[in-house]
Amino acid sequence: MNAKILHIPELDSTNRYWKEHAFEAEDFSFLYCDYQTGGRGRNGRNWLSPKGENLLFSFVIKDKEFLQKGAKLSLYAAAAIVTYLERKGFQKITIKWPNDVYIGGRKVAGILLEGSLPNFVVVGIGLNVNQETFEGQYRVPPTSLSLICKKKIPIDGLVKYLFPYIDDFFHQTSDEEALKIYEAHDYLKGRRIRFPYNGPMKEAVVLGITKDFRLLVETLQGQVIELTSGEMTTIRYD
């Protein structure tokens, strides 16, 4: 498929752009930029990225059939990034629910879905490409593709192949296939986590994810619970 690609060097946020322009956008239009003055992360956090070093992009989904997938779109986005990176030779890739992409245990990409259902969803992805130092306090510092493969990667070249790949992946992959890819890269499965549940923190072991993209956990008291990513803003794990 021919992905429709727009480049705006600097703007507040590619997600915000599509949220404002979704009504005039074609389905699966991509936008990337070199710098965001108000990059948005999950749970109201900022997404900071030095100018020109990383790939910051969003695409808009308007097709009703896709919109019906709801939270599963998140699963598709993570599975598309993971399989693309694997084709490029990257290894040890995992996905931490709901959709942080890790390489060798360090975050390399973050995904933020926003939108106004049933009209559109914006899928925003920040992929660390050439950034070599990460300021700020991290329990485990993030990584980038260039830190792993020890060479700089031209962003324009990446865009040319990655965007059509994502477009094709969404159109050619079934829910079952996307789920299988996700499960094969599930970072949290089998790990013990702590999360706030009706107030106090609860401890549980992650069993996996459900078909509709909830995290399935078994508490230490033997209770099986499904968690949605919207409710679950804090998960701690070892």
Residues near ligand BTN, by CB under 6 A: 13-15, 36, 39-42, 45, 47, 56-58, 100, 110-112, 124-126
Calculate the alpha carbon distances from 15 to 82, 158, 193, 197, 230 in Å.
21, 19, 30, 30, 18
Q: Of 63 and 114, which has the nearer Cβ to ligand BTN?
A: 114
Cβ proximity to ligand BTN, 110 vs 115, nearer residue: 110
Shortest CB 216 distance to ligand BTN, Å: 22
Q: Nearer Cβ to ligand BTN, position 140 or 221?
A: 140
Q: Give just the sign of the alpha carbon dihedral 143, 147, 148, 153.
A: positive
116: β partners = 120
Q: Which residue in 65, 109, 51 sits closest to 84, CA to CA?
A: 109
User: Minimum Å distance from CB 224 to ligand BTN?
Assistant: 27
Q: Distances from the Cα of 228 to the Cαs of 195, 203, 236, in angstroms?
A: 12, 16, 15
Q: What would the two tokens of residue 203 be?
A: 């401890």
Whichever of 47 and 97 has its CB closer to ligand BTN, that residue is 47
Q: Supply the minimum distance, in Å, between the C-beta of residue 198 and ligand BTN.
A: 25
Min. distance of Cβ 114 from ligand BTN in angstroms?
Answer: 8
What are the CA-CA distances from residue 30 to residues 27, 34, 134, 160, 216 (Å)? 9, 14, 27, 11, 33
Task: For residue 193, give the nearest of 225, 149, 153 by alpha carbon.
Answer: 225
Q: Of all residues in this chain, which one has the CB nearest to ligand BTN in the complex?
A: 110
Nearer to ligand BTN, 64 or 141 (CB): 141
- Are residues 6 and 30 in contact, defined by beta-carbon separation less than 8 angstroms? yes
CB of 46 to ligand BTN, least distance (A): 9
Side-chain half-sphere CA neighbours of 141 within 13 A: 9
Least Å distance, CB 28 to ligand BTN, is 16
Nearer to ligand BTN, 16 or 150 (CB): 16
